[in-house]
Structure 1
Amino acid sequence: MGINNERGSWGERKAEEYLIRKGFAVLEKNYRYKHSEIDLIVTVSDMLIFVEVKTRSGTAFGMPEEFVNAGKAGLVKKAAEYYIYDKDWQQDVRFDIVSVLVLPDGQTEIYHIEDAFC
């Protein structure tokens, strides 16, 4: 596994831990549908939330959340549509981004963006 994949997996674990501490229940991790993947699928208060996690070790090229472009959002939405249909989900849904930034001193900064795209 490459360094970027390892960092991404590490960031997904950090995001999961963060969401659990905030009261979210994790339903799925790395959910795949065709060529799409959703990093985390969680619930809170009868809301189904599809979470894209972005991890970076610096901001030279921008903040982690800036790397979720329209193409990536489209893939997440396509997988989400299938998941909603497959599970017959009848309640509200939203799409969030959890940005995980590793600071130069090794500390981690997590930024949760609710309703990041629709």
Structure 2
Amino acid sequence: MGEHNEFGKQGEALAVAFLLNSGYEICAQNYRYQKAEIDIIARQGNVLAIVEVKSRKMGFLEDISTTINSKKKKLLVMAADHYVQEMDLDVEVRFDVITVVQKGASFEIDHLEDAFYFF
């Protein structure tokens, strides 16, 4: 596996730990439906958070929370809808982005709730 893939997996693991420490229950990781993949599906009360994790090393100039294009958003919405129906859930669905930025030996984690709307 490439170094960037390993770094991405590390970022997802840090995001899971962050969510758990914030009181979320992790429902699924790397949930796939057709061509879509959801990094993390987490629940807190009646809110189901569909979480896209973006991991980068310090010095990346682009705001990584804005790197989710319209095609990716449509795929996330489709997969989230399928998950909710498959699990027969009655929840509020929210789309979040967690950014994990490596700064030397440490990591900065930001959780952007309601990163985008699907309607």
Q: Which residue identity lines up with residue 113 of structure 1 in the other structure?
A: L
The two structures have a TM-score, normalised by structure 2, of 0.92
Q: Distance in 1 between matches of 2:69 and 2:59?
A: 17
Across the aligned residues of Structure 1 and Structure 2, the Cα RMSD in angstroms comes to 1.1
- Residue aligning to 1:11: 11
Mapping of residues 39-118 of structure 1, within 5 Å: 39-103=39-103, 105-118=104-117
Contact in 2 for aligned 1:37/1:76 (Cα 8 Å): yes
Inter-partner Cα distance in structure 1 for 2:59 and 2:88: 40
Q: What is the identity percentage for the equivalent residue pairs of Structure 1 and Structure 2?
A: 37
Counterpart of 1:21 in structure 2 is 21
Q: Which runs of 5+ in 2 are unaligned?
A: none
More displaced 10-residue stretch of structure 1: 31-40 or 50-59: 50-59
After superposition, the C-alpha distances for 1:21-64 in whole angstroms (9 at most, x for unaligned) are 00000010000001100000000022111100000013433132
1:69 CA drift (Å): 1.9
User: Displacement of 1:115 after TM fit?
Assistant: 0.6
Once superposed, which parts of structure 1, at least 4 consecutive aligned residues long, lie more than 6 Å away? none
**AA aligned opposite 2:16:** E
What's the secondary structure of 1:110's corresponding residue? strand
Alignment gaps of 5+ in structure 1 = none
Given that residues 48 and 91 in structure 1 are in contact (C-alpha distance below 8 angstroms), is that contact kept between their aligned partners in structure 2?
yes
